[in-house]
Amino acid sequence: MTDRPPVADERPPKPRPAPAPDADSAPYWTAAHEGRLVIQHCTSCGNRQLYPRDRCLVCRGPVEWVEASGRGTVYSFTVIRQNYSRPFRDWIPYVVALVDLEEGPRVMTNIVGCEPDLVRIGMAVRARFEAVSDEAGIALFSPEG
Amino acid sequence: MDGFATTGFFPMYATGVAEYLGLHPIYFDETNSGGSSFEVLVEHAAYAVEAGAAEVVLVTYGSVQLSQMGRRLGTGGGGGGGFAPGPAIYDALWGNTLVGNYAMAARRHMHEFGTTPEQLAAVAVSMRRHAASNPQAQERDPITVEDVVTSRLVADPLHKLDCCVISDGGGACVVTTEERAADLPRAPVYVLGAAHATTHHLNLSAMPSLTVTPAAQCGPVAFARAGITPADVDVAQLYDSFTITVVLTVEDLGFCAKGEGGAFVADGGLEVGGRLPTNTDGGGLSACHPGMRGMFLIVEAVRQLRGEAGATQVADARIAVAHGTGGMLSTGATLVLGGEVP
């Protein structure tokens, strides 16, 4: 298998993909659009969860939305050095990570605001937000401090 | 033949292939669990035959992934946020790739257990050594650990040579009764035990631990159903989408303790004559990986049990394990096969 040469691309930059909010997820994406990270809390057993679901994963009880601190630690990560899909290929190298929130739930995200080679498992990170459409935002994470 | 099983990536896939082939089976199955699908399809077929729902089930697979991908070759799909059914959107916004998911498992394994890039590389080196004696293997030139760890990083810590090849390929097997098999010219192989499991769909964030795969759940069940222990296994065909996949699988199936997979696969541990002869056809890392490799695990296990594996034949192989892994480490399916009447 030979490596392909870069393909000349005159098209305008492609934006980051945006989620289409639905009944389960709208509060999550809307909160991030407003600069808040929210998680689901089970009013019956106290379990906290993401991604958003209609019911508690532990006891099937009802869930409510609560605000999270935005603090977490890196559970694992990778530095993506090959991706031919736009817009990501323009960002290479970039960090994709799984972050364990202080409150428990684990999310996939990008670690930004730091050289990719400096990211470590266990690193303390804090959420920052980016609007990706008129109604949805996403939580990215940067090193704490 | 009255039963038919295959799978692919559109709904009613088996029905479509049956129509194309002019088949009208009374049993069909198109369970899709990704790379592990064909172990699941054979398990189901064995149950169906046992229950009398079908007498002869053809299980088949074909893919022209290499020819079809053309210029899109690269990260095995994923990465653009394009294929994100339902909740998969939560992990699809970040530019992660299929390789990136396995890379995060590898990174976590290194963190928890001190596994090294050189130990991962040893898997690729051993698979290539086996591929050298398989004339159908895609890559046959010998490689060294140094070659692997100095090949281009695709998604840290996985290098290009930690990743499987992308191929065209196909294979098939037939599941039938012991009585029917006795009439056939070739020696039968027996399904001694089987089981499958899942931990999550496409969201790696939903996998409880990146270092424990569904194999930890279905492996022991399949072995118990077969009445064997890992020590009884003569030859293994373990899904090797990436080098880390094999390290995780040998641990989860109980061939070594959790965390010791790196040492287990190093120094030729997976080669014929080693601790656990594995992927004797060269595996997905060197021989063939058209998207869902599970069928080839079965084909090679059967060849070993029939003594037809050529230069990589394991002497006196009586019990073989084929273990498929699908999705983003999402599914596992274990088949224990035997060359003798159970």
Residues B218-243: tens digit of each pLDDT? 999 999 999 999 999 999 999 999 99
- For chain B, the domains span 94-164+188-338
Nearest by Cα to B167 from B241, B83, B236, B98:
B241
How many other CB atoms are there within 10 angstroms of residue A122's CB atom?
9
Decide: B55 and B179 in contact? Cβ < 8 Å. Answer: no
Which of B79, B91, B108 lies at the smallest CB-CB distance from A85?
A: B79
CA of A144 vs chain B CAs: smallest distance (Å): 20
Overall average pLDDT of the A52-63 stretch: 97
Contact of A58 with chain B, judged by CB distance below 8 Å, is answered with no
Is this model's pTM higher than 0.90 or not? yes
Q: What confidence score (pLDDT) does residue B113 get?
A: 98
CA of A103 vs chain B CAs: smallest distance (Å): 15
> Helix, strand, coil: what percent of chain B each, to 5?
40, 20, 40
A25, A38, A78, A111, best to mutate vs chain B, most B CBs in 10 Å: A78
Overall average pLDDT of the A105-133 stretch: 97
Contact of A81 with chain B, judged by CB distance below 8 Å, is answered with yes
Q: What confidence score (pLDDT) does residue B342 get?
A: 57
Contact of B156 with chain A, judged by CB distance below 8 Å, is answered with yes
Burial of B167 (0-12, 13-18, 19+ CB in 10 A): buried
Only one residue has tokens 């940067």, namely A142
B67, B72, B93, B242, best to mutate vs chain A, most A CBs in 10 Å: B93
* Confidence check: pLDDT of A4 > 80: no
Q: Which CATH number fits domain B94-164+188-338: 3.30.1180.10, 1.10.1370.30, 3.40.47.10, 2.40.290.10?
A: 3.40.47.10
Nearest by Cα to B50 from B173, B180, B171, B172:
B180
Which of A79, A87, A108 lies at the smallest CB-CB distance from B204?
A: A108
Overall average pLDDT of the B90-100 stretch: 94
Residue B20 contacts by C-beta under 8 Å, 6 or more apart in sequence?
A: none
Average pLDDT of chain A, as a whole number? 93
pLDDT in tens, B264-314: 999 999 999 999 999 999 999 999 999 999 999 999 999 999 999 999 999
- What band does B85 get if pLDDT is binned at 50, 70 and 90? confident
CA of A114 vs chain B CAs: smallest distance (Å): 16
Q: What confidence score (pLDDT) does residue B314 get?
A: 98
* Confidence check: pLDDT of B258 > 50: yes
Q: Which of B71-80, B109-118, B197-206, B282-291 has the lowest mean pLDDT?
A: B71-80
- What band does A1 get if pLDDT is binned at 50, 70 and 90? very low
Residue B46 contacts by C-beta under 8 Å, 6 or more apart in sequence?
A: B175, B191, B194
Q: Which of A3-17, B6-20, B190-204 has the lowest mean pLDDT?
A: A3-17
* Confidence check: pLDDT of B164 > 80: yes
Sheet holding B169-176, edge to edge: B27-29, B3-5, B56-63, B169-176
Sign of CA dihedral A130, A132, A135, A140: negative
Decide: A19 and A25 in contact? Cβ < 8 Å. Answer: yes
Overall average pLDDT of the B314-328 stretch: 97
CA of A79 vs chain B CAs: smallest distance (Å): 5
Q: What confidence score (pLDDT) does residue B81 get?
A: 47
Average pLDDT of chain B, as a whole number? 94
- What band does A13 get if pLDDT is binned at 50, 70 and 90? confident
Which of B90, B91, B95 lies at the smallest CB-CB distance from A83?
A: B95
A38, A74, A76, A119, best to mutate vs chain B, most B CBs in 10 Å: A76
Q: What are the Cα distances from residue B263, in Å, to A21, B116, B255?
A: 46, 9, 12
Overall average pLDDT of the B84-105 stretch: 92
Cis status of the peptide bond prior to A51, with omega within 30 of 0: yes
Only one residue has tokens 């945006």, namely A18
* Confidence check: pLDDT of B323 > 60: yes
Size of interface A-B (CB pairs under 8 A): 117
Q: How many residues does chain A have?
A: 145
pLDDT in tens, B133-159: 999 999 999 999 999 999 999 999 999
* Confidence check: pLDDT of A107 > 80: yes
* Confidence check: pLDDT of A136 > 70: yes
Rounded to 10 degrees, the C-alpha dihedral A38/B331/B129/B287 comes to: -100
Overall average pLDDT of the A21-45 stretch: 96
Q: Which amino acid is at B337?
A: L
State how far Cα B190 lies from the chain centre.
19
Give the pairing of strands A71-80 and A94-101. antiparallel
State how far Cα B68 lies from the chain centre.
22
Q: Which of B13-17, B75-79, B293-297 has the lowest mean pLDDT?
A: B75-79
B96, B101, B159, best to mutate vs chain A, most A CBs in 10 Å: B96
Gyration radius (Cα) of chain B, Å: 19
Overall average pLDDT of the B58-78 stretch: 74
**Do residue A78 and residue B74 have CB atoms under 8 angstroms apart?**
no
What does the block give as tokens for B81?
A: 């946020």
**Do residue B155 and residue A110 have CB atoms under 8 angstroms apart?**
no
3-state SS of B253-299 is CCCCCCCCHHHHHCCCCCCCCCCCCECCCCHHHHHCCCCCCHHHHHH
Overall average pLDDT of the B167-176 stretch: 96
Overall average pLDDT of the A32-43 stretch: 98
* Confidence check: pLDDT of B74 > 60: no
